[in-house]
Structures are given as structure tokens and as C-alpha cells.
Amino acid sequence: MNQQKELKKLKEKIKELQNLESSFRKRKDYYKNFIATLLDWVWEMDINGIHTYSNKAVEDILGYKPEEIVGLNVTALWEKKVTANALKILYDNLKQGIGWERVQGKFLHKNGSIVYTESTAIALYDENDKLTGYRGVDRDITNRVTARIALQESEERYKKLFLSSNDAIMTLAPPEWHFTSGNPAIHKLFHVKNEEEFIQIHPWDISPERQPDGSLSSEKALQNIEKAMREGSNFFEWIHKKINGENFTATVLLTRVDLKNVSFLQATVRDISVRKKTEERLKIVNSIIRHDITNNLAVIRSAVNLYKRNPDKTLLDEILTRVKTSLNAIDRHRNHEVFLDTHTSLQEMDINKVINEIASSHSKIEIRHNGNCYAYADEGIYSMFDNIIDNSIKHGKADKLEIKVTSDDQFCEIHCSDNGIGIPDDIKSKIFNKGFFYGESGHTGIGLYIVKQMIEDYGGTIFVKDNKPKGTAFVIRLQKGLKLC
């Protein structure tokens, strides 16, 4: 009887164990299937970094099948070539038996592309508490990381654009509408000492009291601000004022920027004073050419009427002359327009005034000059004449210099003739070369090279010839200005 009871208990125990085994097997299969269907990469590795298990998700993330991953060292999947130092750090960390959480990894996909993952892992121990490896999960965060990198690069590009722009870029905020930031260009444009000084002021503080239409700058500025806030942007011309009181014409682009519950304006200010001055010059040119052509057309019309009554050939010659004159005027206007477009920084310089000022500073040579002309140049023209005079004194050994200024419809021609020892024929073609030396004191070519570069920047030319009976003559041709002498 006791044996039967013991047998029955044994059978019940075996059945219980079978049920537990079945339950464990089902649960194991469940977790195995669950892991297999995860979109995240589940893996196991030993303490040497060799993968011992991988689920199927690795194929979607890195392009490798699980069987290709098993037996592969994790470093073989890294994006960069593994250095000895990196390996030492890896193995030292693996031996510590400490897992990690949400560490960003960078792997190389089988197709060569970069894959970013977020990795979490725990250490694995055997029944004797000996470290055997790690089990972890890597989630593909490539889209998130590349989006962040793209955003950072975009921000960096904008920052460089903001800092390097020649246009003044600033922000202004309601309700007072004072400036809240500005790029480095504000210093040059408005002559402010620093950004701290700039953010204490309003747009109308760096404007004259009134704009050209007579309206108060303070009132019109607020109207432009309101329009930009209402419509999203506003582009207009504006007269600004530097801190030192100097006015200049500018274009202003106001753009509304919306950030969550905050809206403010970004302003881009560009100095167009040179462009405006060029436009004014072109208006004068247009006025002159209209006047000249109108006069020529009036003469042509009268000549045609006279020719109808009296077919005199001299009248046809007059008509032809006037037509040619008008066509030449149009060509000059076109050339002048191109010149002004490409030399916007130049101004009309009074050549007579320049020569007088330079001559007064040279007592070692007698300078005589006659004639006058307004030519396009800049303040560097003083240095240009100074170099030529110094060349006559130091290298030409001259004690007299005659400067003669003439002009035609398009150019001012300046002849600078001295009575010095002259320049040998075999080096005349070299004296404008950079670094060319000649004469007792040398360095002559340095100054003349600079002179030639300056004149060419002005859109002009220079050449040298012998002066009769002795000496050297420099002939300079500069674009003629519109002012009358």
C-alpha cells in the first residue's frame, strides 16, 4: 500500500515537472519569438567582444544576417579603423562587468553607409558569478542623429553667414522695438563701439529726424515695423545715420520670425550710398546726352527741310556729321555707364587741386603745371603723383617737372615731363614690373609698380617715353568725370 502511494506521488511529481518543463519551453519559445520579431537589434557577446547571438533585426539595421554576426568581433562593425588604444579601452571596459545605458554607437552598414544606434546592455554571469559576457539592445537612431547633425550644420552655416555678412543683420523685439542683437557689420555701418552699445537704441535713434518725404523717422519706422509684423516682411529704402551723425542711404529688409509664442523682427540693412551716387551720375549723363542728341536732331531736321527746298550736298554732309556725333555720344554714354557700374567706389577728383597740394610738399624740384580736368579716382591719387615726383627726384636726378593736363570727350590725359637723366630704352618696358630694380638707389620698380596698379584700378593707363630734349615723360590717361573745369 505504501509503495503504491509513493509511486503515485512520484508520478504526480514527474507530471508536475513535465508541466513545468512544458511551461518553460512555451515561455522560452514565446520570448525567443518575441525577440525575433523586435525591430531593435538584440545581441549577446562574450567578454572579448565576440558576438554569440543576434536576432533578425540586425539585417534591417546593419544589412548582415544573424549567422554573419555570430562569431564576429564588435569592432569589425565599427565605422572607423580600430586603433590599439581603442581596443585596449574596449577590453578594459568589458572586463569590468558593468553594463551601459543609452550609449550612442556608430557602425558601418554592409552597404558602406553610416548607422547610428543607441545601445543598452547588462553583464551576464554564470552560476559561479563569473562574468561571461553581455546582453544588449541597440536601437537604430540614424534618422534622429542625421537630422540633428543637419540642424547643427545649418545653424553653423547661418552663424558663419551672420558673422561674415557685409550687410548689417540685427534683431529687434516688441513692444519697445529696440535692437536685441547685431552682427559684426553693425560696427562698420553705424560706427557703434560694440553690440552692447547697439542694443540700447531703436531704429529711429540711428536715423535723421525726418526721411526725404518729410515724415518723422520715429513715426515712419513704426509704420514699417507694423507692416512687416502684419504681412511677414517689408522691403524699403531708408536714410540711416551713423553714430557720428553721417547720413547714408540703405535698403532695409524686415522679416518676421515666429518662435513658439514669441515673434520678433530680423532686419538686414545694406548701404547703397555708392549705388545711389552712381545713379545720380548716370542721370547727369542721361541729361547731357539727351540735350546733345536733341540739339543734333533739331539741326538734322532743319537741314532736311532746307535740302528739300535746295538740294545742297553740304547739307547732307552736315546731316551725316550730326548723325555720327549723336552715335558717338551714345557710345560714350554706354562706356561711361559700364565704367560707373564697375568702379562704384571712385569719385570725381579735381586734378588741379591734387597737383597743387602735392607740389607744395616738394621743395627739391620746381613743379609747373597747367590745364585741369575732373577724373575718376580715389584718395590714392595723391600717392600716385607723389611716387611719380619722387621717381623724378631720386632716380631721374631732375630739378624741374612740368605737368600738363588735357582732356577729350572720355579721358583726362596727364603728361608728367622732367628734365632728368632719363630711362634707358632697354628697361622702359620693365620699370612697371613688380620687384624690378635699377639705378644707384634701386627700388624704383616698387613705386612704379604700385602706381600702375592704382591707375589700372581706376580704369586708366600709364606709359613712359623720352622727354625732349632730355628727361622722362609719364603719360597717364584716366576716365573723365562729369564736372566741368
CATH number, residue 234: 3.30.450.20
> Residue 51 falls within a domain, yes or no?
yes
Closest CA to 238 of 225, 251, 228: 251
- Structural domain count, the chain: 5
Q: Domain end: 220, 238, 271, which one?
A: 271
* 34 vs 72: which has the higher pLDDT: 72
Is the domain of 137 the same as that of 237? no
The CA radius of gyration of the chain, in Å to the nearest whole number, is: 43
Is the domain of 113 the same as that of 232? no
Domain that holds residue 231: 166-271
C-alpha 387/C-alpha 416 separation (Å) is 12
Is the domain of 93 the same as that of 80? yes
In the β-sheet with 168-173, what is the strand arrangement from edge to edge?
Answer: 178-182, 168-173, 262-271, 247-259, 233-241
> Residue 150 falls within a domain, yes or no?
no
Average pLDDT over every residue of 339-349: 72
> Residue 401 falls within a domain, yes or no?
yes
CA distances from 432 to 428, 459, 467 (A): 8, 17, 18
| Residues in CB range of 66: below 8 A, 6 or more apart | 53, 54, 55, 56, 58, 59
Regarding beta strands 168-173 and 178-182, do their DSSP bridges make them parallel or antiparallel, or are they unpaired? Answer: antiparallel
> Residue 213 falls within a domain, yes or no?
yes
Is the domain of 50 the same as that of 126? yes
> Residue 59 falls within a domain, yes or no?
yes
> Residue 212 falls within a domain, yes or no?
yes
Is the domain of 245 the same as that of 259? yes
Beta bridge partners, 466, equal: 472
Is the domain of 367 the same as that of 451? yes
Helix (H, G, I), strand (E, B) or coil at 419: coil
Q: Domain end: 111, 145, 179, which one?
A: 145
Is the domain of 337 the same as that of 354? no
On the question of pLDDT at 307 being above 50, the answer is yes
What distance lies between CA 107 and its chain's CA centroid? 36
Regarding beta strands 411-418 and 472-479, do their DSSP bridges make them parallel or antiparallel, or are they unpaired? Answer: antiparallel
| First-to-last C-alpha distance (Å) of the chain | 144
Summarize pLDDT for 73-89 with one digit per residue, the tens. 988 898 777 667 777 77
Is the domain of 265 the same as that of 184? yes
Closest CA to 420 of 445, 447, 446, 402: 402
273, three cell numbers: 550710398
> Residue 156 falls within a domain, yes or no?
no
Of the listed ranges 58-72, 240-254, 319-333, the one predicted with least confidence: 319-333
Is the domain of 141 the same as that of 210? no
Is the domain of 370 the same as that of 456? yes
Q: Domain end: 323, 342, 361, which one?
A: 342
On the question of pLDDT at 19 being above 90, the answer is no
Is the domain of 407 the same as that of 315? no
Q: Is pTM beyond 0.85 here?
A: no
Which residue, chain included where needed, has cell 511551461? Answer: 23
Is the domain of 351 the same as that of 475? yes
> Residue 365 falls within a domain, yes or no?
yes
Report whether 405 contacts 371 (CB < 8 A): yes
- 276 dihedral zone (left: phi>0; alpha: psi -120 to 50; beta): alpha
Average pLDDT over every residue of 212-234: 95
C-alpha 456/C-alpha 270 separation (Å) is 28
